[in-house]
Amino acid sequence: MAKVRVGIVGGTGYTGVELVRLLVQHPEVDLVALTSRAEAGRKVADLYPNLRDRCDLAFSEPDDPSLLACDVVFFATPHNVAMKSVPDMLARGQKVIDLSADFRLRDASQWSHWYNEVHAAPELLEQAVYGLPERNRNAIAKAQLVACAGCYPTAVQLGFMPLLESNLVDSAHLIANAASGVSGAGRQPNVANLFAEMSDSFKAYGVSGHRHLPELEQELGLINGSPVGLTFVPHLLPTIRGIHATLYATLVGDCDDIQSLFEDRYREEPFVDVLAPGDYPQTRSVRGSNHCRIAVARPQQRDTVVVMSVIDNLVKGASGQAVQCMNIMCGFPETAGLTGIAMMP
């Protein structure tokens, strides 16, 4: 049986090279195109030597004809790139998986408010399926266009989901206190992200409004069945990879065993691991893997539930989740190419 031909638009950033790392090991994939205007003509392994002897491709221009022959195209690009090319790809019958924010929000005016631009393909927003497999597996299987969930939204939604689905908490006053490694800011040079600037320190940012907030409130509202109120405070961790989200909600329903609620909800999910009571997740336990590890507690048996959720922001928060969506779209085993164990130490 022929392998699926896959291309990546925007292969030089962290999510792009993470996609390459995962796809060159995928048993059902033939990676045939990898585009970058800035690095066109350069061997991929010259930029990322970890791919020596695993990827012999060179970066090509975005109009590379081999991209037209791909069955699946990933966009690992900044916002406002995919939306300009996706309509033509869909018309050709290609499947598209977008890792940017171009198709996550269903309201074009809301997107324009947060990204300060006019959306170039608003007619596709309703067609795009939100790429969080633990919620939308059946819809992803039928989709031609998938908008992968953001990194913070993945960790936060997986943590809140069992509580909201069971109507157990006050959905008007949710709190998400989350911290990400610096790779979440991308590969472009930025003084604030220099090692000497961010190491041995810890800071909040985007407190007055982060671009993931409308995505979070939109999707948590869909889980809840009605609008939610969320206070979202992101932080910068002095690490390269990883997100740790600590979530708070007030109980309003009866539940004698919240631990079992979470265990039952995720029992059949291959990439969500609910830890035993008293065992709290660490970002290093998911580094390089597609897993989300979750712990839930009810301190002093009071009415506040605390959920701790950790992911690797570049894998389950981005490229690994994109490959998981591709597996579902193409009818492959959902774990194909994603069975790697987290790297410790």
CATH value at residue 185: 3.30.360.10
Q: Per the domain annotation, does 122 fall within a domain?
A: yes
Q: Per the domain annotation, does 344 fall within a domain?
A: no
pLDDT-derived band at 192 (thresholds 50, 70, 90) equals: confident
Domain of residue 63 covers: 4-149+316-330
Annotated active-site residue 325? The verdict is no
- Is there a single domain that holds both residue 129 and residue 257? no
Per residue in 221-264, pLDDT (tens digit) is 999 999 999 999 999 999 999 999 999 999 998 888 999 999 99
Given a cut of 80, is residue 107 above it in pLDDT? yes
Neighbouring residues of 83: CB distance < 8 A, sequence distance ≥ 6: 102, 103, 119, 120, 121, 124
Full-model pTM: 0.97
Per residue in 287-335, pLDDT (tens digit) is 999 999 999 999 999 999 999 999 999 999 999 999 999 999 999 999 9
pLDDT-derived band at 188 (thresholds 50, 70, 90) equals: confident
Where do the H-state alpha helices sit in the chain?
A: 14-23, 44-47, 65-68, 82-91, 108-115, 133-142, 151-165, 195-198, 212-224, 258-266, 320-330
Q: Per the domain annotation, does 343 fall within a domain?
A: no
Q: Per the domain annotation, does 337 fall within a domain?
A: no
Residue of 55, 70, 148, 151 with catalytic role: 151
